[in-house]
Amino acid sequence: MTDVTHDRIPLAALEHGTPFADRHVGPMPAELARMLDVIGVGSLEELGQKSVPDTIREGDLQLALPEPATESEALAELRELARRCRPHTEMIGLGYYGTVTPPVILRNVLESPAWYTAYTPYQPEISQGRLEALLNFQTMVADLAGVPVANASMLDESTAAAEGMTLLRRAGRSKSPRFVVDADTLPQTIAVIETRAEPLGIEVVVADLSAGAQALPEGEFFGALLSYPGASGAVRDQEQIIAEVHRRGAKVVVAADLLALTLLRSPGEIGADVVVGSTQRFGVPMGFGGPHAGFMAVAKGLERQLPGRLVGVSVDADGNQAYRLALQTREQHIRREKATSNICTAQVLLAVVASMYAVYHGPAGLRSIATRAHRMAAVLAEQLRRGGVEVLHREFFDTVVVRVPGKADDVVAAARRGGINLRRVDADHVGISCDETTTRAHLAAVWQAFGVTGGDTDELDIETPDALPAALERTSEYLTHPVFHTHRSETSLLRYLRQLSDKDIALDRSMIPLGSCTMKLNATAEMEPITWPEFGSLHPFAPAQDAEGLLSIVKDLETWLAEVTGYDAVSLQPNAGSQGEFAGLLAIRAYHRSRGAADRDLCLIPASAHGTNAASAVMAGMRVIVVRCDDAGNIELEHLRELVAEHADDLAAIMVTYPSTHGVYEDTVREVCGLVHDAGGQVYVDGANLNALIGLARMGKFGSDVSHLNLHKTFCIPHGGGGPGVGPIGVREHLAPFLPNHPMQPAAGPVTGVGPISAAPWGSASILPISWAYVRMMGADGLRRATLTAVATANYVARRLNNYFPVLYTGKGGFVAHECILDLRQISKTSGITVDDVAKRLADYGIHAPTMSFPVAGTLMVEPTESENLAELDRFCETMIAIRAEIDKVVAGQWPADDNPLVGAPHTAASLAKDWDHAYSREEAAYPLGTDVVKVWPPVRRIDGARGDRNLVCSCPPLDAYQA
Ligand SMILES: *Cc1c(COP(=O)(O)O)cnc(C)c1O
């Protein structure tokens, strides 16, 4: 017998299998050693010690997190948590409805990395697929809303309504600070509007407008919000009110239900200026509140006021139709404190799902889904009436409210026993909503809860007329574009989806080295649970006991995020980083007020900050002063000292990003915090760059009071082509009483909180399992290893490329943090080749461009993340080096400045098939590194953005338009 015991791996270790961290982290040990060699350090630990300032580094930090689980262990735990969720048949309504995600869309969009790992389409030439899907979304929304232009998604219905309010304030002529809100509006929307209005000095007047135009309050107001249908389900003709509001010099936002609009006259036709709402019920699971795509659409003349992103049609260099983001793309970066909104990450993936739902069903299919919901509600109401129950409204779409004096609790409890959640409006009223999933059996169960017996649904159906006002019947057409009439079979839709995603470069094809965006692995095991029905089918206002498992995930995440950041309390409600910024600044504002320092309203923001910072500060009622940065990219301390001294009485806060958006660990951060604290201000650290800190330092310990984190950056929620996101905030104890809360869910925040900043109590709850799984599987050591590896990949790229494209800023010891800025300004000056040319040329090499011209114009910011292995890092470096050689050829005159592969990039297959009369060859155009590569063909040539802006087309153009 051979003695093998010495070499054997113990069974316990074998049973455990490969640690997840080995899968998440790209470079294998031997690769890492090679990288460290190039960087010039002996180990990851040494790199950490040398690059992170001693003033903040917690050398012996042992994060108190559970021991890491394997993928199967984590999934088993998640299954157990899912078992502890017991979704009922949700007939609560209030903006959230049962819906069926067509399986072909579920698997090939929601569960497909080609869609969910894509980035925001700032590089339009390699984003045509998702841009087309978003254009379909805009067309769908604009058509149904009856106005010409819709944007490519808002964070949810309530924030869209609040943005509608601020849009009217910007665009309107009235100087009045008053905004009227119809009382029959979703309660969470009223609450979010109030949160947004208060710091801006907008006075919200909630008025019962059920009696029509004469119920409008006296005196001036700048705008009004109407609901169509109302929260009570009532469908009212709003035409007279809108006319009266207009007559009085104000404008109108209508919060509308897109499904109802397939049957009802559109808000545009009755005069709405702005239409907002949610597309959740277009195939997106309720998910205990989110994520789903909100929308905003506007009447003619307001399109340049739209917040968020707008897809438009233009042409490429060959004259072919092509899509790209129009107008205010990255608007905050340009306009900063004057931006229309702070929205950055939106809800692209969910907008794609909703748009495909419309593409698949078409107008007739949507109409029949709407009719089903309506007929179910009509029949339901009729039998209740016959049973002696008072139904409040005669005209409704899918929701009825009934009066049961003193009995609402009993009825709601009886319905629950029958497996159904109804809405308890108050002690005397119950709301019931029908949807695409409502069956005749559900109606029977509801009747039983009211003690109403009998009721033959089919007979009732014959005897019951529709409950929609005849005058509001929809006569105008919608979704007439061929795309909504072509893909009825699954085969056809499947191929359409594949055709679109094949046009794009997502993480499943190439690294996406986008500085500040942290495009790391979104592991399959992390993603699996989000489409489990136990999480997806929960209504956000269902009793908490139905969501025990998901709430346990919420609690774990709050605890773990507090631990990794060193804060005392966390709120998961904000559904993007921008919303976290707003929530955090509101907390600071409320804190100052609680201490009688309401005059503190000044926010200092370094010149290098992300544009959302300034936009959020303004939304929180603060003034912004910019702190200069010095030549090394650091906050100019002298300038900060001056500003702090000058503003000792009105300083509210400083917002700093750490490590900075220059990709550097500034070693003065403690001093910065101290200066601001000494002057009575609070410190907000923008935590978008947390991927460079976890396990090494904690902002809650080095002087910050509050931060947002981007779970869609550091904590593996995929970018989805521009959303969803989650932007929780962590705060120190003194700010904890001022976290967001929610009027319908006391457990979601402190009673003393600043109000809700999202529609749902826990924001985008259904994607929290992704971040939960990441922390659960990485453990403390894994997270620290990820951080150090991310710093290593960035420093490796910086070292390899510095001789070709100088690295603009470095910190202590000449190291960068987790990203580096490549300075092309000098190269551009001598060669005429711009960052744009380089970005487009990268597409010919099959690589997604880095972040362009942020935070410094004329530069590229590269963030490789810990998930890329050495081969991919080298492919990127070698490509950049090859591009540098191409630039040199232009400089040397070998290629003319106006005819070379850089200015000609990107090259489509079709462009090569045509006559070729360029100074460079077809091979140089398409296969610059030889033909031994898997070629990714860009589907369009360089897109003319300016032309598209002059000639704004933001819905699907006729199929033959713009052909060369
Ligand atoms: C991404 C980012 C934000 C904005 O976050 P969103 O989730 O897109 O709203 C803010 N600050 C910095 C530094 C960022 O990188």
Atom 15 in ligand 1: which residue has the minimum CA distance?
Answer: 516
Select from 345, 605, 655, 684 the residue to mutate for testing ligand 1; criterion: most ligand atoms less than 8 Å from CB.
Answer: 345
Kindly give the number of the ligand 1 atom that is closest to the alpha carbon of 657. Answer: 13
Atom 2 in ligand 1: which residue has the minimum CA distance?
Answer: 688
Report pLDDT for 963: 40
Residue 298 lies in a domain: no
For 469, counting Cβ atoms within 10 Å of its Cβ (0-12 exposed, 13-18 middle, 19+ buried), the class is middle
Atom 4 in ligand 1: which residue has the minimum CA distance?
Answer: 577
∠917-921-925 over CA atoms, to 5°?
110
Kindly give the number of the ligand 1 atom that is closest to the alpha carbon of 725. Answer: 7
Å from CA of 333 to ligand 1 middle: 11
Report pLDDT for 306: 92
Residue 603 lies in a domain: yes
User: Distance of CA 819 to CAs 52, 382, 716, Å?
Assistant: 14, 63, 17
Q: Is 905 within 8 Å of 829 (Cβ atoms)?
A: no
DSSP states of 646-671: HTTTTEEEEEEESS-TTS---TTHHH
Q: CA 401, CA 392: separation in Å to the nearest integer?
A: 6
Atom 11 in ligand 1: which residue has the minimum CA distance?
Answer: 610
Residue 647 lies in a domain: yes
Amino acid (1-letter code) at residue 481:
H
Å from CA of 254 to ligand 1 middle: 29
Residue pLDDT, tens place only, 306-365: 999 999 999 999 999 999 998 755 666 777 888 889 999 999 999 999 999 999 999 999
Atom 6 in ligand 1: which residue has the minimum CA distance?
Answer: 577
pLDDT by 10-residue block (mean), the chain, 964 residues? 68 87 98 98 97 95 97 98 98 98 98 97 96 98 97 98 97 94 98 98 98 96 98 97 98 98 98 98 98 98 92 95 82 77 95 98 98 98 98 98 98 98 98 98 97 92 97 97 97 98 97 96 98 98 97 98 98 98 98 98 95 96 96 93 97 97 94 97 98 98 98 98 97 98 97 98 98 98 98 98 97 94 97 97 97 93 98 98 98 98 98 96 97 95 85 78 42
Report pLDDT for 548: 98
Report pLDDT for 964: 35
Q: Contacts by 12-18 with C-beta closer than 8 Å and gap 24+?
A: 16/70, 17/70, 17/72, 18/70
Kindly give the number of the ligand 1 atom that is closest to the alpha carbon of 612. Answer: 10
Select from 610, 690, 691, 856 the residue to mutate for testing ligand 1; criterion: most ligand atoms less than 8 Å from CB.
Answer: 610
Select from 658, 710, 852 the residue to mutate for testing ligand 1; criterion: most ligand atoms less than 8 Å from CB.
Answer: 710
Residue 744 lies in a domain: yes
Å from CA of 339 to ligand 1 middle: 15
What residues does ligand 1 touch, defined as CB less than 6 Å away?
344-345, 516, 576-578, 610, 612, 657, 661, 686, 688, 710, 725, 727
Q: What is the number of domains present in the chain?
A: 1
Select from 517, 582, 612 the residue to mutate for testing ligand 1; criterion: most ligand atoms less than 8 Å from CB.
Answer: 612
C-alpha torsion sign, points 105, 111, 116, 117: negative
Residue 624 lies in a domain: yes
Atom 5 in ligand 1: which residue has the minimum CA distance?
Answer: 577
Å from CA of 809 to ligand 1 middle: 21
Select from 309, 342, 686 the residue to mutate for testing ligand 1; criterion: most ligand atoms less than 8 Å from CB.
Answer: 686
User: Distance of CA 453 to CAs 35, 373, 413, 423, 863, Å?
Assistant: 75, 22, 17, 21, 65
Select from 343, 344, 709 the residue to mutate for testing ligand 1; criterion: most ligand atoms less than 8 Å from CB.
Answer: 344
Report pLDDT for 3: 56
Kindly give the number of the ligand 1 atom that is closest to the alpha carbon of 516. Answer: 15
Q: Report the CATH number that the domain containing residue 669 is assigned in CATH.
A: 3.40.640.10
Closest Cα to residue 885, out of 901, 898, 861, 874?
Answer: 901
Residue 110 lies in a domain: no
Residue 618 lies in a domain: yes
Q: pTM above 0.85?
A: yes
Å from CA of 578 to ligand 1 middle: 6
Kindly give the number of the ligand 1 atom that is closest to the alpha carbon of 661. Answer: 13
Å from CA of 53 to ligand 1 middle: 24
Element (H, E) at 116: helix 113-116
Kindly give the number of the ligand 1 atom that is closest to the alpha carbon of 345. Answer: 8
Kindly give the number of the ligand 1 atom that is closest to the alpha carbon of 713. Answer: 1
Report pLDDT for 962: 42
Å from CA of 155 to ligand 1 middle: 14
Kindly give the number of the ligand 1 atom that is closest to the alpha carbon of 609. Answer: 13
Structural domain of 634:
531-776
Å from CA of 657 to ligand 1 middle: 10
Torsion of CA 550, 718, 858, 870, to 10 degrees: 120
Residue 673 lies in a domain: yes
